[in-house]
Structure 1
Amino acid sequence: MTGLYNRRHMEASFYREISRAQRHDVPLGVIMIDIDHFNVFNDTYGHDLGDKVLREIGAFVQGNIRDEDIACRYGGEEIIIILPGASLQNTHRRAEQLRIGIEGLAVDMYDEEHTVTASLGVALFPEHGGSIKEVIRAADCALYKAKNNGRNRVVIAEKALSVCCKDEDEDVS
């Protein structure tokens, strides 16, 4: 539906790209995107609008990443982007550009224009984890910090991952 790769492709790509990053001693950036208040679209306007929002954000993301980057629908309204060879600074800069671009999208439906925002978490292999699971968890925790701190923002993962803020506040949909 989104035009993005699925989770299975993301996992296979992640294994390949982590192996490549280790072999060439380069970083691997990860951005996790979650559409803010997505349930409101579905609950208020129905799943047709929610689906349209997902399609438009998927097309926007795909059109605003490098050819070698891999954008995948992680689940629900979450998207993961794998950025081979990207530094933390470049991954953060790309995430901020995506956030601003998503904020500028206007989804037309039912004779109304709907605006969308997103929260983004940024992590880097190997800085924020030595495995796929650890890096995704670090990006996810950063994403939930963005949501807990007001949404529509980018947060970089902390170096020492102790307790994920997702566990602190489950009501961040």
Structure 2
Amino acid sequence: MVMFSTLALHRHKLVLIFGLAIAGLVANWLVGTPKQWEEIDWLDVVGEGGTAVALAVWMVLILGSRPNGRVTDLLTLGLGFMFLAMWQDNLDEFIRIPAEQWWDQWLESAAMPFGGILLTYGLVHWHSEQLAINRQLRKRERTFREHRLVDQLTQIGHAGYLKEQLVNIREQYGESSVALIMVDIDRFGDFNRQYGHREGDSLLSELSELLMLNLRDQDLVCRYAADRFAVVLPETSQTRALQLASELKRAVSAFAYKHKESGVTLYQSISTGVAADSGLQADQLIQAANNDLEQRRLSLTSGSVQVRV
């Protein structure tokens, strides 16, 4: 599982923080005395203990989803100090610490604000990092992010995401024309039968990257179905959309895809369908582009897979 392999990168951080928590428990037990059952404030136990558990879960989730780096370190340290403060606060509900022991008060009073400062500083850097990531993902998600609508193979939005984006673009741009290009790999079924589904998946993944490289910043690529991609073009006329579709066809025909095992070059070709209208709803625009694609494919006579060594 990806999360556990990522957590393994941060095992030293986890050992340090949870090791300190265990050391705190042992220290409390050695210098303190257990409270009587009736002395325990269970409302505080639930509140402080629940907060400590939540902080620990947040920390594990962050470490399980991020690589090493300054932002990860700051977020982890911030949450770690806050967790240790709440952990000590919760232990005080069960163990009475002598007044001359100062360290438990320090943990409760100093670790929490210090952790909050580190967490805030980390979030400032996370914000800058997120803006950079947003720029990288612009052609994958535009202004709407929903991980449940992302295709796991190509890491771009699927058909449900496409419809959401078309609705959002219509709301954002009003009556201005929105164009849609449907892109279909010629004879992809033959490619799968000849080279296998794993090679076909690799081709789909690399082709999605190629399409994004050959589009404008405001455009969006989604995987519509199987080997069919959809390219959303905001504020684009039919004429301009046809030009962009032609450019995509030339880019794909020049794409020297390499077979993963043999290294043989497998050149591809695509068919495209274009629809552009300021008044069509999302489903109507998709249907119009699909219809145009099917009409254009009727004229296809040449094969798509060519082998060059």
TM-score range, shorter chain: 0.7 to 0.9
Asked whether 1:103 is paired with 2:253, we answer yes
Runs (4+) off by over 4 Å: none
2:228 corresponds, among 78, 81, 99, to: 78
Contact preservation (8 Å) 1:119, 1:151 = no
Q: Which amino acid aligns with 2:201?
A: D
- Aligned-pair CA distance for 1:40: 1.0
Match of 1:131 in 2: 281
Looking at structure 2, the residues matched to 107 and 119 of structure 1 have their Cα atoms a distance apart, in angstroms, of 17
> Structure 2: how far apart are the matches of 1:88 and 1:73?
21
Matched, 1:142 2:292: yes
Provide the residue aligned with 1:162 in structure 2. none
- Give 1:11 deviation, angstroms: 1.3
Q: Which runs of 5+ in 1 are unaligned?
A: 153-173
Question: What is the CA–CA distance in structure 2 between the aligned matches of 1:28 and 1:151, rounded to whole Å?
Answer: 31
Amino acid across the alignment from 2:271:
S
Are the equivalent residues in 2 in contact too, given 1:99–1:118 (CA < 8 A)?
yes
Q: State whether structure 2 residue 143 is matched by structure 1 residue 31.
A: no
Paired with 1:115 and 1:60, the residues of 2 have a C-alpha distance of 13
Q: Deviations over 1:14-37 (max 9, x none)?
A: 11112233x2x3100100000000
Q: TM-score normalized by structure 2?
A: 0.46
Identity %: 26
Structure of higher RCO (CA pairs closer than 8 Å, 6+ residues apart): 1
Cα distance in 2 between the residues matched to 1:105 and 1:62? 13
Q: Larger strand proportion, structure 1 or 2?
A: 1
1:67 to 200, 210, 217: 217
Task: Determine whether 1:18 maps to 2:204.
Answer: no
Question: How far apart are residue 125 of structure 1 and its match?
Answer: 2.1
What is aligned with 2:158?
A: 6
CA RMSD of aligned residues (A): 1.5
Displacement of 1:53: 1.2
| Distance of aligned partners of 1:138 and 1:151 in 2 relative to their CA distance in 1, 3 Å threshold | farther
| Aligned residues of 2:163 and 2:283 also touching (Cα < 8 A) | no
Contact 2:177-2:236 within 8 A present in 1 as well = yes
Structure with larger Rg: 2
Report the 3-state secondary structure (helix = DSSP H, G, I; strand = E; otherwise coil) of the residue aligned with 1:120. Answer: strand
Aligned residues: 148
The 8 Å contact of residues 220 and 233 in structure 2, kept in 1 or not, is answered as yes
> If each structure's helix is expressed as a fraction of its own residues, which one has the higher value?
2
Structure 2: tracts of 5 or more residues without a match: 1-152, 303-309
Q: Shift of residue 151 of structure 1?
A: 6.2
Q: Deviations 1:76-125 (Å, cap 9, x if unpaired)?
A: 00100110001111111100000111111111112311111000000002
Distance 2:269 2:190 in 1: 12
CA distance in 2, matches of 1:8, 1:134: 14
Change (3 A) 1:86 1:151: farther
